[in-house]
A and B are shown apart, each in its own frame.
Chain A
Amino acid sequence: MLQNRYCGKLIVVEGIDGSGKSTQLALLSQWLRAQGYAVAFSEWNSSPLVRQATRRGKKKAMFTPTTFSLIHATDFADRLESYILPLVKAGAVVCADRYAFTAFARDVARGMSRRWVRNLYRFALKPDICFYFRVPLEVAIRRIVGGRNAIKYYEAGMDLGLSNDLEESFRIFQGRILDEYDAMAGEMGFHIIDAEQSIEEQQRQMRSALMEALGEKLRAGVLRSQPAGAHVA
């Protein structure tokens, strides 16, 4: 991945479904915005250009591990080239809910080789900080099951034929993903957050880690609107 030499910054959250990472990223970005920083959001699997193909592939269960991996890399490339990179260059803080590490964990859990998947994302911009929300599998499953979103076919790894039971397949597949995340945490320099703690405590740790790592750079480089009242004089 390419080092970020630009004024803008890239903040990433990673973790399995049900780890609470999206909630935490939303709180963090609100807090940054309240301080006047220019903040943008990018979600996994959200490129308008690629959406149609992804939807089609999912609806008709056309994906193999290879094409599943490649379509997500295409989606990522589009978001990086047309959204994330221009904004980071321009001096915004981009908050990404999942990044290339999601592919490193998921695609390998689907059977793609580690080396191949890592090379695939070589064009990515290296995040300035990446928070990994670590949660035991059982806790994540309790949070998801009975939630408003049903478990989806590919999220459960049903394409791999691990089990005919959706929940059982989900358990096995997410367990593999969790192992991959844990295995790469050190190598990738993840900032690990214990996601069993209270929401408030996790947010406190996130803010303090962010300021410690990037506070000076944020103040020096990131675009910021004038604090209220600054125009009066």
Chain B
Amino acid sequence: MLPKQPLEFYEEPLPGVDSSELKGKLIVIEGPDSVGRSTQIALLRGWLEQEGHAVLDSGMARSALAGQAIQEAKNGNTFGPVTMTLFYVTDFADRLEHEIIPALRAGFFVLIDRYIFSIMARAIARGENRQWIERVSGFALVPHGVFYLRTEVKDLVRRVVLGKGAFDFWESGMDIRFGPDMYESFVRYQSRLVRALDSMARRYNFQVVDASRSPEQIFEDLRGRIMDLGAGRRADEAGRPARAGRKARARR
């Protein structure tokens, strides 16, 4: 569970990046659609800024290079699975090089709403080769913490129906049509996504967070875990090993 220090790349270092200069913290929130990731990112951001940390948050399809083009292609429903995967990897690479790495260099806390793992899970759920996409994504930095918000698919269904009130074309995997209608396709596709994410948990050191609880409970949980990485009141003791941090929290 100990984060790697200093930051490293998974397989292939990015040309021109010296990862030892990256002083910030890279924190990833992963999880399926509608699990409540963006709510948590907003809460975490508010808290970290209160504690005096500079925060950058970054999420999928928000790059200057490819964000808009991805949105337009999604609206036209014209993606093939490999094209979609690579478009998202392009988007990720642009954000990594132009937003995330500069912020890490400047000592920011960088909160990522879905990292390469969602891109990989979507590709795997669509039947693409796992090793292919793992290697393609090999230029990603190993984060200090990957928090996987996990819940059952029936809970996701409840959230979608009570929240947005309708199933989304892409969240239901309708490009592949996993079922005869949006509901059935959603259930099958999201089950595949959860399975794919589960299968990465060990290899990529995910910390699994039970997301079936209330947003407040999840936030408390995440906050405690992120304190262990040297945030908030533990900032002055950031040099101490994570284990000591965890004990200190348990005493409170």
Known: A70-B93, A123-B132. A80 touches B15 (CB 8 A): no
Q: Produce 1/0 per residue, B74-95, CB < 8 A to A.
A: 0010111111011101100110
Q: In the complex, what residues of B have CB within 8 A of residue A73's CB? A: 86, 90
Please, which residues of chain A bring their CB within 8 A of the CB of B69?
A: 49-50, 52-53, 56
Interface size on A, residues (CB 8 A): 32
Digitize B53-85: 1 where CB-to-A-CB distance is under 8 Å, 0 elsewhere. Answer: 000000000001110110011001011111101
When chains A and B are docked, how far (Å) is the Cα of A112 from the Cα of B90?
A: 14
Contact B97 A77 (CB under 8 A): no
Chain B: interface residue total (CB-CB under 8 A): 35
In Å, the complex CA distance between A206 and B235 comes to 69
In Å, the complex CA distance between A67 and B128 comes to: 21
User: Complex formed: what's the CA distance from A122 to B133 in Å?
Assistant: 10
Contact check, A64 vs B90: say whether CB atoms are below 8 A apart. no
- Classify the interface of chain B: helix, strand, loop or mixed: helix
B82 touches A77 (CB 8 A): yes
Residues from chain B with Cβ under 8 Å of A65 in the complex: 15
Q: Are A81 and B12 in contact (CB under 8 A)?
A: no
CB distance from A211 to the nearest CB of B (A): 33
Residue pair B136, A53 in contact (C-beta under 8 Å): no
| A8-16, A92-100, A113-121, A174-182: which lies at the interface | A113-121
Pairwise interchain contact B15-A66, C-beta atoms closer than 8 A: yes
**Is A147 interfacial (CB-CB < 8 Å)?**
no
Out of A57, A70, A81, name the residue touching B82 (CB < 8 Å): A81
User: Within residues 7 to 55 of chain B, which ones have a CB less than 8 A from any CB in chain A?
Assistant: 11-12, 14-16
Within 8 Å by CB of A71, from B68, B76, B90, B139, lies B90
- With A50-B69, A62-B64, A67-B93 known as contacts, the answer to whether A119 contacts B78 (CB < 8 A) is no
Residues on the A chain within 8 Å of B89, using CB: 70, 74
Q: How many A-B residue pairs have CB under 8 A?
A: 95
Find chain B residues with CB under 8 A from A110 CB.
15
Bound Cα distance from A74 to B87, whole angstroms: 6
Interface SS majority for chain A: helix
Q: Given the known A-B contacts A53-B69, A71-B90, A81-B82, are A119 and B64 also in contact in the complex, defined by CB atoms under 8 Å?
A: no
| CA distance in complex: A66, B72 (Å) | 23
Contact indicator B87/A52 (Cβ below 8 Å): no
Interface set, chain A 4-59, CB cutoff 8 A to B: 47, 49-50, 52-53, 56-57
CA distance A25 to B127 in the complex (A): 35
Determine if A120 and B15 form an interchain contact, defined as CB atoms under 8 angstroms apart: no
Q: A111 at the A/B interface (Cβ < 8 Å)? A: yes
Pairwise interchain contact B78-A82, C-beta atoms closer than 8 A: yes
Query: Given the complex, which residues of B lie within 8 Å of A167, measured CB to CB?
Result: none
Q: Does B217 contact A (CB under 8 A)?
A: no
Known interface pairs A50-B87, A77-B83, A80-B82; A111-B15 also in contact (CB < 8 Å): yes
Determine whether the beta carbon of B129 is less than 8 Å from that of A78: no
Binding site for B on A (CB under 8 A): 47, 49-50, 52-53, 56-57, 62-67, 70-71, 73-74, 77-78, 80-82, 110-113, 115-116, 119-120, 122-123
